[in-house]
Structure 1
Amino acid sequence: MSAIVVTGTDTGIGKTVFAAALAAALDADYWKPIQAGLDEETDSQRVAELSGLAAHRIHPEAYRLTTPCSPHRAAELDGVTIDTARLTLPTTKPLIIEGAGGVMVPITRAYVYADLLADWAFSTVLVARTTLGTINHSLLSIEALRARRVPLLGIVFIGETNEDTESTITTMGKVKRLGRLPSLAPLNRATLAQVFSANFNVADFTA
């Protein structure tokens, strides 16, 4: 395994928490190419807390944008032009890469995250909620990735169990269910590692 991309069906669904758990489980470095929103804790800072990775293993973002919104708009508000050629991966391996928002979020006005994932062609994990609306969001995201021939490793669910919804998505989407990360209270490095170990098989991510 050289790199795994963690993408999602939407924003704020738990991609960062899962990416932290996966990086810790695989002893992998972490990189978020574009951070949009700097007023609160960044995703890189969150991953550092939850994974226990040393600072030098959390790679700096290619772009740090002020406003928490779609990267294309956040860049415009900052007077920045995103050059996709700058989104080159750190050479370290293994590496967990986290996208922003959902797979169809624009990076520029002519280029979405799914396009970037297609260009990279790394194994990709789709993260989805288990709540109402996730069937539609998940199946559309799977179609968008498959249309671009992105290698889809499988889907990860976040939240309370919803067996019918999860099985509907995996069956109709013809995608592997990699596991489910439940809500955690408290959420910290120890509880996250314990729940990841109980709900996921590391071999699914290293084959």
Structure 2
Amino acid sequence: MPFRPIIVTGTDTGIGKTVFAAALAGALGAHYWKPVQAGIEDEGTDAQRVAHLSGLPRERVLDEAYCLQTPCSPHLAAEIDGLAIDPARLSLPKVEGHLVVEGAGGVLVPLSRSQTYADQFASWGAPVVLVARTMLGTINHSLLSIEALRARSVPILGIAFVGDPVEDSEATICAMAGVKRLGRLPPLDPLEPGALRAAFAANFRLEDFA
């Protein structure tokens, strides 16, 4: 199977991007990679969360290029750790089939004092799924994120929403930006692998990511 990377980014931090990435990677039977982890929470790294939620074999969840200690923007977390993020270490790992790559926070989060994630996405040239929550403010955040991606000629596969349904906001974003609405992942309580797998299957079409 040919190499098929998909980038998962978000409109902000803490919006459910990692949960969506886990669901997508699991559904595709993909490899998962988060190149830069900044800060480790009580439940571990995002890669550890994805390994648990996705049901993927552990060898399909790749190690980070950088695992930084401070929970802040990667450029500053790297400086605090006494290093600089080297773009050469961020080349996409070549795997067979799909590779789901997760960014950090929003599209304009800086990796260095001169480069944002959106710049890195442009260098990869892979299609992006933008994850957006359905809460108040999502229209503005989503449209700005899409403009930033398009300004760098980053291909956008579509937008995936996370949260309770807000039909007008979801429809308005997709109509104004001219992007595909891929689906919406509802809130899950408890959040566990079987429920996530079922919710993704019920709300997304796998062929949209093929």
Calculate the TM-score normalised by the size of structure 1. 0.98
Query: How many residues were matched structurally?
Result: 206
Say whether residues 1:52 and 2:55 are aligned partners.
yes
The answer to whether residue 53 in structure 2 is matched with residue 65 in structure 1 is: no
Does the CA-based 8 Å contact 1:34-1:99 persist in structure 2?
yes
Alignment pair present for 1:13 and 2:15: yes
Shift in Å at residue 91 of structure 1?
A: 1.2
Aligned pair partner of 2:147 in 127, 143, 148: 143
Structure 2 stretches lacking a partner, 5+ long: none
| Aligned residue runs from structure 1 range 22-41, under 5 A | 22-40=24-42, 41=44
Q: Which residue matches 2:102?
A: 98
Contact 2:92 2:124 in 1 (8 A): no
For 1:127, the equivalent position in structure 2 comes to 131
Identity %: 64
> TM-score normalised to the size of structure 2?
0.96
Q: Distance in 2 between matches of 1:203 and 1:56?
A: 25
Task: Give 1:143-162 correspondences, 5 Å limit.
Answer: 143-162=147-166
The residue aligned with 2:91 is 88
Residue identity opposite 2:193 in structure 1: R
Q: Is the 1:3–1:123 contact (alpha carbons within 8 Å) kept by the matching residues of 2?
A: yes
3-state SS of 1:141 partner: helix
Supply the AA of the counterpart residue of 2:9: T
Q: CA–CA distance in 1 between the matches of 2:11 and 2:205?
A: 22
The root-mean-square deviation of aligned C-alpha atoms, in Å, is 0.8
Do the aligned residues in 2 keep the contact of 1:125 with 1:154 (CA within 8 Å)?
Answer: yes
What is the CA distance between 1:53 and its match in structure 2?
A: 1.1
**Structure 1 CA distance, aligned partners of 2:16 and 2:40?**
18
Among candidates 161, 164, 182, match of residue 168 of structure 2: 164
Q: Distance in 2 between matches of 1:38 and 1:160?
A: 28
Comparing 38-47 and 125-134, the one that deviates more: 38-47
What SS does the corresponding residue of 1:17 show, helix, strand or coil? helix
Distance in 1, matches of 2:8 and 2:194, equals 21
Unpaired segments of 5 or more residues in structure 1?
A: none
Matches of 2:63 and 2:202, distance apart in 1: 31
Aligned residue for 1:60, secondary structure, equals coil
Give the match's secondary structure for 2:199: helix
Distance in 2 between residues matched to 1:52 and 1:24, nearest whole Å: 6
| 2:134 and 2:161 in contact (8 A); partners too | yes
Displacement of 1:52 after TM fit?
1.1
SS in 2 for 1:108: coil
